[in-house]
Chain A
Amino acid sequence: MNEAQNRIVFEDVSKFYGDVLGVNRVNLSVPPGITSLVGPNGSGKTTLMNLMTGLVQPTRGRISILGIAPDDPERLFRVVGYCTQFDSFPRGMTGYQFIYSYLRLFGYAHAQSSELAMRAIERVSLTDAAGRKIAGYSKGMRQRIKLAQAICHNPSVLVLDEPLNGLDPLIRAETIALFRALAAEGLHLIISSHVLHEVDVISDQVILLSNGYVVAEGEIKGVRDEIEDHPMQVLIRCDKPGELASQIFHNDYVVEARIHKDRQGVLVKTRDADRFYLLLNKIAQNGIEIESVAPADDDVLSVYEYLIGTEESTK
């Protein structure tokens, strides 16, 4: 299998809804693992997912999902599962019937459809409610049955639009564990979420969107390193924070050194992290006992704030 056939590729993709911009000039190449789409309302997250799955067609550009074009549903949906944000279902069906009938559309026989349906329902912990009508499900249960529908045919690419919405903390943790397990199996997971700390915990890479444009993509640390406008923040835990601050402050690549609120460390802002770490090694040999050194702003929340701004509400 060549590289392109194991990636989700967008080449100069734009989508306009009449005069309204959906996404513009998107170029992406997404490897396996968990990739999060992050951005405020209307930034183009759902449009990107709908483009990936052929629910909408690009105004220009080319998309390829593991080498398959989205306008070829017969091949595409053998390898792709999509959990949409639409909270609607075919009328009058039980959870089991919903998954089972969907699998029958694949051409599976009764026994195989039934087995796959039950397995998917079990994976999302809905076995007890499988025989109940979906209309009577809670929000979290509806979210999980949609997830079951997306994973029931064992796809290689899972596209999940706000999959953690409406889930209680316990189920949320179970679902995140399920995502991790699926990613470990070599799947591509594309997740959009507005819960940034969860994105931070589960993602291998992020794609940040704003107003229809991709503003950053890649591993979160790599993205952070490339944001030169905002000095890197490092929290150093040590026994003599005041002395440490005075020793590092005169260096021109240190922008700010502030004693931490608990007086047990120093929060440093630096323009050159590599030179700063060399300096820190020297200081450590001069009698200050350093307990830990940790980056303080290489998480999704910080990157999001730096690139998109705090005033924009996340979805």
Chain B
Amino acid sequence: MAVHKRSYRSYAGALTPAWSRFTIITRYAFKNLFRSKMLTAYFVCCFFYPVGCAAALYLNHNLSFLSIFKVHEIFAVDADFFLHFLGVQSFFAFILMAIVGPGLVSPDLANNALPLYLCRPFSRAEYVVGKMAILVWLLSLITWIPGLILFLIEASLSGAAWAWANLGLAWGIFIGSAIETLVFSLLSLAISAWIKRKLAAGAALLGVFFFGSGLAQVINAVLETKNGYLIDLGNLLTTVDASLFGHTDVVNARISAGSAWIALIAACVFCVALLERKVRAYEIVVG
């Protein structure tokens, strides 16, 4: 007679909610990322300009400071101010994406780690959302969150009337940053998923922006059109931001805001399709 001693007991304790499991990837990624002193230092630098802006807003309303210069205000806090703020922070966001983005999926593909994630109760969508959340968080922290804080500071200093009159600016800050964050995140994820080498993925990411911009110029010059801008992601984002802040001169000089929106949405859909094809638990090797 055989005696089968059963000593194994599966885990029977409480589980975290299924919806929150994607955050595991994000949490561990943050831990890893901020081990790099370079990245941490750069991330801190990303806040210098917002802090400077906050100080400037305060001084702009400080009567004793203004009395030195005998003026009502040093600068106008209007659409130009916030558009410029977004422009500067977008530059920082672009560099941050170029540093962080290439390493999101490519190491998992290169080391065959995807099956390890996906053999658990963890879907492909959760994996992508988890990875995307890394960039979404990082970029949000340096774009729309400080932007809205600046808006609130100005509102508290100028009063509710200013806030009501300029509510569109808050909307512009949020939507402009959100679309930029979405495009940057999806693009980095898609490139990182298709190019296994992290360094090559980084180069490709820069190439999409720089070469795309150059190519757009060539198309415009040779074909005597403005449609070349449709492949220039940097210009598309600038056009959308300009339209959100009511800068029609920029929009008129390039392509319509509607076209820019459609091109950006198309780019996002294309990136999602690329991710759908590549983020799988298996890889077909023709041998």
Chain A interface residues (CB < 8 Å from chain B)? 132-137
- Complex formed: what's the CA distance from A133 to B285 in Å? 9
Shortest Cβ gap from A222 to chain B (Å): 44
CB closest residue in chain B, given A137: B287
Q: Is B18 an interface residue (CB 8 A)?
A: no
- Complex formed: what's the CA distance from A246 to B285 in Å? 69
Residues of chain A with a CB closer than 8 A to B285's CB: 133, 135-136
CB closest residue in chain B, given A129: B287
Residues of chain B with a CB closer than 8 A to A137's CB: 287
Q: Is B286 an interface residue (CB 8 A)?
A: yes
- Complex formed: what's the CA distance from A132 to B287 in Å? 5
> How many B residues touch the partner, as a band?
under 10
Within 8 A of A (CB), among B49-88: none
Residues of chain B with a CB closer than 8 A to A134's CB: 287
Shortest Cβ gap from B121 to chain A (Å): 28
Residues of chain A with a CB closer than 8 A to B287's CB: 132-137
Give the 10 A-B residue pairs with the shortest CB-CB distance, closest first: A136-B287, A133-B287, A135-B285, A132-B287, A136-B285, A135-B287, A133-B286, A137-B287, A136-B286, A133-B285
CB closest residue in chain A, given B284: A136
Residues of chain B with a CB closer than 8 A to A132's CB: 287
Shortest Cβ gap from B97 to chain A (Å): 29
Residues of chain B with a CB closer than 8 A to A133's CB: 285-287
0/1 interface trace, chain B 248-287, chain A, CB 8 Å (1 if under): 0000000000000000000000000000000000000111
- Complex formed: what's the CA distance from A132 to B285 in Å? 11
Shortest Cβ gap from A39 to chain B (Å): 27
Shortest Cβ gap from B236 to chain A (Å): 35
CB closest residue in chain B, given A132: B287
- Complex formed: what's the CA distance from A134 to B287 in Å? 7
CB closest residue in chain A, given B283: A135
CB closest residue in chain A, given B287: A136
Shortest Cβ gap from B9 to chain A (Å): 28
Known contacts A135-B286, A136-B285, A136-B286; 9 further A-B pairs (Cβ under 8 A): A132-B287, A133-B285, A133-B286, A133-B287, A134-B287, A135-B285, A135-B287, A136-B287, A137-B287
CB closest residue in chain B, given A136: B287
Shortest Cβ gap from A166 to chain B (Å): 15
CB closest residue in chain B, given A133: B287
12 A–B contacts, CB within 8 A, in A order: A132-B287, A133-B285, A133-B286, A133-B287, A134-B287, A135-B285, A135-B286, A135-B287, A136-B285, A136-B286, A136-B287, A137-B287
